[in-house]
Amino acid sequence: MKISNTYLSDIFIIDLFSFKDNRGEFVKTIHDKTFEENGLVYQFAESFYSISNKDVIRGMHFQKPPYDHVKFVYVVSGKILDVVIDLRMNSITYGKSFQIELSEENRKGIYIGKGFAHGFLALEDKSIVEYHTSISQNKEAEAGILYNSFNFDWPVEFPVVSVRDKEFLSLTEFKTPF
131 is annotated as an active-site residue: yes
Candidates 61, 69, 118, 132; catalytic one: 61
49 is annotated as an active-site residue: no
Candidates 42, 67, 94, 131; catalytic one: 131
Provide CB contacts within 8 A for 102, sequence distance 6+.
Answer: 73, 74, 75, 79, 80, 82, 108, 109, 110, 120, 129
Amino acid identity, position 53: N
- DSSP letters spanning 110-139: EEE-TTEEEEEEE-STTEEEEEEESS---G
Known catalytic residues are: 61, 131
